[in-house]
Structure 1
């Protein structure tokens, strides 16, 4: 029987958690192979002592079938999970190109929606799913991924793929103990529901360097956040992606419930002078708005300022 080969690209918070669960279940299964694509000290320590998952109340040590940063000569995969930051996607996709064929299913678990479109264009012969996750996880130190809380959801689907393929992945996730939700036609809307929250929040916190609490306590900033959400919903509708009528109300309620000191990962990247997901989380909305003739003055202003404009 041919092995079912799984690659997890990027062993950060998302890749570490979902890759860890897959490796925990299947790495020693003779019918499966789970390969981690990692680099640097993180890769070295995983190879030496396994990946440590620090979960609420327990620590799980998992060992993949292989951990490597060289993929050119290790053959095709049946399933590839892309779990890198959006600004690294193009480089990593080129690295993985020799490993992706017509039989390969690709599941992007990145922030936003642009990465999905990119992978569909880059690998038209492959089977690309829509996907997103709700999880709080990060690299605590090399070789260790910390996951906070129990609220972990993986949303995925593509109604255009064969039912047998979708059922195989669903069974795989079930057996690995992954909390997942498989959608048909609604999957694009589900991904954009998450995007309708993280894009405005990431954009405004990065511009102002204000926390969630500071934003909701300042009427001008709270109104600006709501305007960003409204503009994004208009872009989604122009693209033919339906969102719930009360999505803005829901998103604002989530902001109100969040801890007052919370910011966003993009804001922290800006503050620390790191690469950011600006193009994927903010610029994409501006570009799509221009494409569909939608007015997004708040997004244009925020994007221009974050790009370094006046």
Structure 2
């Protein structure tokens, strides 16, 4: 299976590196500045006892492309349209596109561009970031990709992708309803992102002050209510896990959205929170706290839009 990983940032770089190390045919489609850095330093992965440097196969959008069997799309939602344009020459009639973005809005955009049959559902579970050198730092143990056909039907290509991932040490459990799994991840990342961005602190920091845990629970309740109204109630076990995650005393956990705010970068506010609150309105679900978090991040977005554009790390 010929694999194209679109983006070599914290998510795409991590999973692509795992597949590369397992001996698979992996190529990274990256922007010119990221390509130059990777050619100079290699693709480096650190954290949790790992120190790995790979020499990846790289292509940029201006290079000739062939059709790939599998495309792992792992860019920020703000770069989706540009990435889709870049990868278009790599998509053939049998190519499966596996997007690893948060939220749901990207599915319609990809279906519009490449046809619904080309697109799989996907959920990435990994806690990584890029350091100042552009190296990938793993912060916590999870390493999983959930995938499936969007209509829920079993398929040979999903079985093949799951076997490929599992063989590379990436958990990929059977997921009968990938749409539900995507909604449930959306609830998780919305509650975590809204809590840390609204309260301007890590999970441990806002839980250390009166009212912090209560606000996090309230934000989670709003997000879960939207998912339930859409037909995808969050199972009790997952809801309990997310509750524990956002109310753990001393936790240093922060999502990428909050790290982007601290760094003065644009965030995925519209894809993650803006789309969620819009769906809440359509479903007649009240989300005053999520609305407030969305508004605050839109102000941040407006501010960063006036700053010079920085090339995406992917």
* Structure 2 match to 1:56: 48
* Structure 1 match to 2:4: 7
Counterpart CA distance in 2 for 1:291 and 1:259 is 37
SS of 1:134 mapped into structure 2: strand
Counterpart CA distance in 2 for 1:245 and 1:297 is 23
Q: Is the 8 A contact 1:6 1:34 kept in 2?
A: yes
1:201-280 aligned at under 5 Å gives the runs 201-245=192-236, 247-257=238-248, 259-280=250-271
Residues 115 and 226 from structure 1, CA distance in 2 versus in 1: closer, same or farther, beyond 3 angstroms? same
Matched, 1:47 2:39: yes
What TM-score do you get using the length of structure 2 for normalisation? 0.84
Match of 1:169 among 157, 161, 171: 161
Q: Is the 8 A contact 1:127 1:161 kept in 2?
A: no
* Structure 2 match to 1:282: 273
* Structure 1 match to 2:303: none
1:15-30 aligned at under 5 Å gives the runs 15-27=12-24
Q: Deviations over 1:12-40 (max 9, x none)?
A: 1111111012122335xxxxx32101234
Deviates more, 1:194-203 or 1:120-129: 120-129
Matched, 1:108 2:99: yes
- How far the C-alpha of 1:127 sits from its partner, in A, is 2.3
Counterpart CA distance in 1 for 2:190 and 2:103 is 7
Q: Deviations over 1:55-80 (max 9, x none)?
A: 5333233333x302225631222110
Counterpart CA distance in 2 for 1:146 and 1:247 is 26
* Structure 2 match to 1:135: 126
Unaligned runs of 5+ in 2: 301-314
Counterpart CA distance in 2 for 1:227 and 1:182 is 31
Counterpart CA distance in 2 for 1:160 and 1:100 is 23
Counterpart CA distance in 2 for 1:58 and 1:248 is 31
Residues 184 and 162 from structure 1, CA distance in 2 versus in 1: closer, same or farther, beyond 3 angstroms? closer
Deviates more, 1:165-174 or 1:252-261: 252-261
* Structure 2 match to 1:305: 296
* Structure 1 match to 2:84: 93
1:143-158 aligned at under 5 Å gives the runs 144-158=135-149
What TM-score do you get using the length of structure 1 for normalisation? 0.85
Counterpart CA distance in 1 for 2:82 and 2:89 is 13
Name the Cα RMSD after superposition.
2.5
Counterpart CA distance in 1 for 2:49 and 2:179 is 34
SS of 1:182 mapped into structure 2: coil
Deviates more, 1:208-217 or 1:141-150: 141-150
* Structure 1 match to 2:307: none
Counterpart CA distance in 1 for 2:240 and 2:141 is 25
Q: Is the 8 A contact 1:14 1:137 kept in 2?
A: yes
- How far the C-alpha of 1:270 sits from its partner, in A, is 1.7
Q: Is the 8 A contact 1:102 1:126 kept in 2?
A: no
SS of 1:204 mapped into structure 2: helix
Deviates more, 1:66-75 or 1:12-21: 66-75
Counterpart CA distance in 1 for 2:116 and 2:275 is 24
Residues 257 and 99 from structure 1, CA distance in 2 versus in 1: closer, same or farther, beyond 3 angstroms? same
Q: Is the 8 A contact 1:155 1:183 kept in 2?
A: yes
